[in-house]
Copies of this chain bind each other. A is one copy, B any other.
Amino acid sequence: MQPLYQEGSSPSEPEWFARLDEVVKYLASSRPTAVNLFWALDRMQRLANTLRGARTPEQMYQEMLAEAKLIHEEDRRQCRDIGRYGAELLQSGQGVLTHCNAGGLATADYGTALAVFFAASEAGKEIHVFADETRPLLQGARLTAWELNQRSIPVTLICDSMAPLVMRQGKVQAVVVGADRIAANGDTANKIGTYGVALAARSHGIPFYVAAPSSTFDLTLDSGDRIPIEERDPREITHGFGTQTGPEGIDVYNPAFDVTPAEMIEAFITEKGILRPVDRETIARHLEAKTSIG
């Protein structure tokens, strides 16, 4: 795929908008479940439309580049704010568990779930993180464990199936995960396996927190039933990482996400503050608010 704009080229306005449309469609096709991507693409396209007729394509490109950098900077600040609010929920000496990767490699700067751990650590709280490896693509092993290790936060890598056991052993006092899309009622889509972690947390009386910026909420969806769930290549499960580990031609189900029902979530940690109780009204009010609500 070519970039949106080539330095020195002079497209006509119709050519420019046709190209913009093409690029937006291409990026939108990469992941159906996460909503922040659509939010950002929409923001960029709306900007272009407000400039239509008043700027040359090159000027539009420059203003859109500035807008993209602004989104990046906003994301950095939001991640820091999420971290700061979330850190207040943790106490020194606690074990915390996370699933998949919601750190600096998935967002700008600090991440969402991992921002909470980074901020807690910076505030002098001693926490120990259990990182689920997160099959099939092992983002927990390859990214989360690495990021925490880099910042010298104690981390223990486990298989996804071990999370219920470490909870039962009393090693975990809180769960913090990220989110790909949150419906108006609080139902939350996140990486496959998150729902099982939430079930286990509830069974052990462990609070389950979701850390995500406001742009992850999709108020156009009444509940999680309407969040599209991406299914991926069976070979991610049968041929992961260089070796065939399943019989030839075996039937495989490989959903990349699941939905955790709102009632299993203790609170959302957003850049505007902690959102609880998790219900439709609180979410609606929170998304309008300029400052923290509790």
Q: Is the CB of B160 within 8 A of A258?
A: no
Q: State whether A237 and B159 are in contact (beta carbons under 8 Å apart), knowing that A195-B165, A200-B196 are contacts in the complex.
A: yes
| Total copies of the chain | 2
Q: Is the CB of A241 within 8 A of B238?
A: no
Checking B138, B159, B195 against A168 with a beta-carbon cut-off of 8 angstroms, the contacting residue is: B195
Q: Is the CB of B157 within 8 A of A160?
A: no
Q: Is the CB of B157 within 8 A of A250?
A: yes
Residues of B with C-beta under 8 A to A245: 133, 138, 141-142, 241
Q: How far is the CB of A140 from chain B (nearest CB, A)?
A: 9
Q: Is the CB of B193 within 8 A of A162?
A: yes
Chain A, range 34-51, C-beta contacts under 8 Å to B: none
Chain A, range 217-271, C-beta contacts under 8 Å to B: 237-238, 240-243, 245-247, 250-255, 258
Q: State whether A161 and B158 are in contact (beta carbons under 8 Å apart), knowing that A168-B195, A242-B242, A246-B141 are contacts in the complex.
A: no
Q: Is the CB of B141 within 8 A of A160?
A: no
Residues of B with C-beta under 8 A to A101: none
Q: Is the CB of B133 within 8 A of A160?
A: no
User: A80 an interface residue at 8 Å Cβ cutoff?
Assistant: no
By beta carbon, the residue of chain B nearest A241 is: B243
Cα A203 to Cα B204 in complex, Å, equals 13
User: A163 an interface residue at 8 Å Cβ cutoff?
Assistant: yes
Residues of B with C-beta under 8 A to A247: 142, 145-146, 149
The contact sample of 13 A-B pairs, CB cut-off 8 A, is A141-B250, A142-B245, A142-B246, A146-B247, A146-B250, A164-B199, A165-B258, A196-B196, A199-B199, A199-B203, A203-B203, A241-B243, A243-B243
Measuring CB to CB, which residues of chain A are less than 8 angstroms from any residue of chain B?
Answer: 130, 132-136, 138, 141-142, 145-146, 149, 154-166, 168, 192-193, 195-196, 199-200, 202-203, 237-238, 240-243, 245-247, 250-255, 258
| 7 closest Cβ pairs, A-B complex | A161-B193, A164-B196, A241-B243, A135-B159, A160-B161, A141-B246, A165-B258
